[in-house]
Every structure is written in C-alpha cells, then in structure tokens.
Structure 1
C-alpha cells in the first residue's frame, strides 16, 4: 500500500505573461481518495491538472510539487508520466487523423501512451485490451474503425485506452463534453463500476457540471478565479453556499443516489 500522498502541492503558483493562472495552491490527495475538481470555465481547473501531469511548471519560488512520491524537478519525468493517464478533448482531437484505427488498436496504443502503434505488442497486451473493451461495453467495436463510433463510444474507447497502461493516477478533463444525456449517464455508470474495482487508479475528474460527481468520488476541490475556494470531503465542499459563491449564482443543491444536482434558485443579477 502506498504510504506517501498521491498528490502534494504546497504554495504553487503558475504565471503566464505576468498573469497568475493559479495562485497559492495547497492540495493533498491521499491513497483511496477520488476527487472531483469543479469551477467555472477559466477558474484554473485545467491549469492545475496540467501541473499535476507535468505539462506545466510553477513559477520560480513556488513550493514543491510531489506526485506519486516523486518531486518534480528532481526526478526523471518520463517515468512519472507513464504512471499518469489523461483523457481530454485534446487527446480525442489527436485521433481525428486516425479515423480508420480499430477499437482494439486504440486501446492497445494506451500501453505506450502513443497515438498509433509503434512498439511491440504481446498476446497478454491483446487480452488486456479485449478485456477493457468488454469492461467499457464496446467489445462489439473491437474491429470497427473509429469513424463509425458515436461520441459516447469514442469517449469509452479513450477511457479504455487510458486504463491500458495501468496508471496510478487518472485525470479526466471534461470527459462528458459533447455527450447527450443518455450517453453521459452510460459513460458515468461505466466509470463508476471501474472506479470501484480494487487496485485501480486514483481518479481526478474535472468538470463544471455538478451532477457528474459520481458516488465513488470521495472528495471535491472547488476552484474560483485561480484559487482554491474549498477542498475536502465532497459533502462538506459541495454545499449551496460554497457552490453559489464559486459559480456566481444562487444555487439549490439536492443529493440523489449519491450524486449532487443543482438548480438556479432565482433569476436576476447577483454578487458573490
């Protein structure tokens, strides 16, 4: 069992062109936790997760970034990145030029985090990829080209691809973007089942849709204007007061089947 925190950020600030994208971030994620990262567009969610994934670097003078027991700047980053899975719209777009790639090959490419197959593949790899296609309910698309997939099926294929490398940390950046309600709920059900399996990765789920916080997510980080507005157990963070402040609307929150749902309390201009 891992003894060190999965993530430990201390006084982290990221600047671009003299502007702070995130500021004074202190955040710890422990083994056994799954986090929802929420906030308005532009609140700093994606920047924060890019720091975690080693895609962006803090400002000089910021505190340490420790991920999976490795201190960034003092470790060999390619080895760390192999332990981190990432699913985002950017990854999806990379496959637009590979529309004839089969479902099996998409999942297999996750073994080495490549778009396309360039490394040797073993029989064991193929069996694992087929099992993941089954888990994510797209086994019938094993030989089908990506061009024939629905949006929901594409998302499932990319999730299976991310699981292929057996990551210790899995970052999902707006995975339900562009999905209709049926496809979204099907994807979330599949994700819930996979997250509950023992030995799986720590999940960081980035969204601005509150209802996507599935029951297996234990904790929540609420971002506002580049800072952490609240963090901790999801029931303590996802309150009407804190969410109304972060989303700049008077929200009513109702929990149903372990998921929070929001509705606007009233119309009009508000100051939070």
Structure 2
C-alpha cells in the first residue's frame, strides 16, 4: 500500500520526523501509538500528500510522490482527522460533506446529482447517521462530526482508511459507539487497509494486529501487536513503569505506576 524509505521531515529548522522506514501491505490493520507531539499526524499528512518529505522517498499505491497526481491518489484514501475537520465547510449539510468524499475534495465542486446525494445519504445510514440527514454540519456535535467524517471517508470505497485520533473530544458513550462502528468496518471490509492513530492504548481494538510505536519523531518499534502491547514494552516506551490490564475482549488499559 505504501512505503517510507529513510524519510525525514523538518519544520522551522526542527526535525519533526527522523529516519522513518515503514512498509504497509494491503489488508493490514495497524495501530500507531504515540504521545502528544510525537509526529503521528504529520506522518499521516505525508501519506496523503498534504506535506512533502524534506528527505527520503514515499511510495503510495506504487506511485512515487513527486511523480504522480495527488488528487487522483487521494480518492483511494479515506482520512478522518481533526486537521481535516477544521477545513470542512460548516454551512454544508451532513450528506453534502459525505458526498465530497467521492472526490476527496473540500466541498462539492461539481453539480451534485440525485444519485450522488442518495449514495451519500445511504452511506450515512450505514454509518448510523440516518438522523443527521439534512442537518447542518455547523450545529453537529463532536461525535456527530466524527461519524460524518467516517461516512465521508468510506464514500469512495478507499483502499486505505486512516483514522487519526477519531475519539478526541467524545464522551464515553459516543466513544464506545464509534469504536464499535470501527470494529464493524474492519469486520465487513477485509480488503481495506486500516491505520488507527492514538495515544490511548484502550482504543486499540483487537482487529489492529500490527503496531507502530512513535516517539519524538522516530519509530521506536514496529511489529505484531501482541509482542509490543505488553507491560514491559510500554513501560520502556513511556519511560515510566505502568500497570497493565488486558480485558476479556482483548483491549488493553494502562495506568502509570505512581508511588503513594
């Protein structure tokens, strides 16, 4: 699906990403775990071509960045991110925003056909957002906006779906519902490659069987989730001892092991 070869990214003379080497194959499900400021969102923006590597080579769908049409490439990538959420047009309805996902554009720049809008409404229904049809994006809650973004991302039946901290700002119920929906997507779309970016271990669903640990712009480790999502590995990654709890459904909760 994509490959980073010795990729570095600099902003204002600061290296945000350093020596990134990473390959993801079709159908894989990756959890990307990193603390705030580790470079997770920057990494995803490089995959989408919204930023350019300062050094190194990025290949997506066998297309080398700098030698391909980014608008065409983006139509095969579904992206859910707060960075994207802030760019959308608040005056549009939920289904208009979902429809724009067909073209991977901000806003609809073509005449919306009746067929297109019906497809967008159906995608909202499938995503559990039937109640949002006709509702203005500007009056939607954070949880509703995230649901709309996921429906938008799925509109073009993407080869690659990127979920960049989709639970940010959600209450417990909305978070549970969204994670259940993501689990359904993984179950019903076996050929879709998934990347889930977070700094909360409890959001790493069992379907994410591969994992990448990112710290201070560098890959600390990558591989099978069951090898990396351990008390020892996470304690070393965070630099502090933690308590580790694996739930019946396979999800993991961690707690800092503070002395009283």
In structure 2, what is the equivalent of residue 45 of structure 1?
Answer: 40
The structural deviation recorded for 1:148 is 3.8
Specify the SS of the correspondent of 1:158: helix
Residue 174 of structure 1 contacts residue 206 of structure 1 at CA under 8 Å; is this kept in 2? yes
Task: Identify the match of residue 7 of structure 2 among 8, 12, 21.
Answer: 12
Specify the SS of the correspondent of 2:102: helix
Which of 136-145 and 199-208 deviates more?
Answer: 199-208
- Taking only aligned residues, the RMSD between alpha carbons, in angstroms, comes to 1.9
- Measured against aligned partners, the alpha-carbon deviations of 1:93-114 in whole angstroms (never above 9, x if no partner) come to 234x52x432222211212223
The structural deviation recorded for 1:191 is 1.1
Task: Identify the match of residue 173 of structure 1 among 137, 146, 164.
Answer: 164
1:238 aligns with 2:194: no
Task: Identify the match of residue 186 of structure 1 among 173, 177, 180.
Answer: 177
Residue 40 of structure 1 contacts residue 208 of structure 1 at CA under 8 Å; is this kept in 2? yes
Residue 38 of structure 1 contacts residue 220 of structure 1 at CA under 8 Å; is this kept in 2? yes
1:260 aligns with 2:252: yes
Specify the SS of the correspondent of 2:245: strand
1:93 aligns with 2:86: yes
The structural deviation recorded for 1:230 is 0.8
In structure 2, what is the equivalent of residue 3 of structure 1?
Answer: none
Structure 1 unaligned regions, length at least 5: 1-5
In structure 2, what is the equivalent of residue 247 of structure 1?
Answer: 238
The structural deviation recorded for 1:145 is 2.0
In structure 1, what is the equivalent of residue 54 of structure 2?
Answer: 59
Task: Identify the match of residue 119 of structure 2 among 122, 128, 132.
Answer: 128
1:195 aligns with 2:190: no
In structure 2, what is the equivalent of residue 163 of structure 1?
Answer: 154
Residue 71 of structure 2 contacts residue 104 of structure 2 at CA under 8 Å; is this kept in 1? no
- Measured against aligned partners, the alpha-carbon deviations of 1:36-86 in whole angstroms (never above 9, x if no partner) come to 1111111121121122111222224x2x21111111122222221222222
Q: How does 1:81-160 map to 2 (within 5 A)?
A: 81-95=74-88, 98=90, 100-160=91-151
CA distance in 2, matches of 1:190, 1:159: 10
- Measured against aligned partners, the alpha-carbon deviations of 1:131-187 in whole angstroms (never above 9, x if no partner) come to 211121111221222244222111101110111122211222111110111110101
Residue 39 of structure 1 contacts residue 246 of structure 1 at CA under 8 Å; is this kept in 2? no
CA gap of 1:239–1:143, structure 2 versus 1, over 3 A, is: same
1:30 aligns with 2:25: yes
CA distance in 1, matches of 2:51, 2:108: 27
In structure 1, what is the equivalent of residue 205 of structure 2?
Answer: 214
Q: TM-score, normalised by structure 2?
A: 0.92
Structure 2 unaligned regions, length at least 5: none
CA distance in 2, matches of 1:199, 1:239: 26
CA distance in 2, matches of 1:120, 1:211: 42
CA distance in 2, matches of 1:181, 1:156: 15
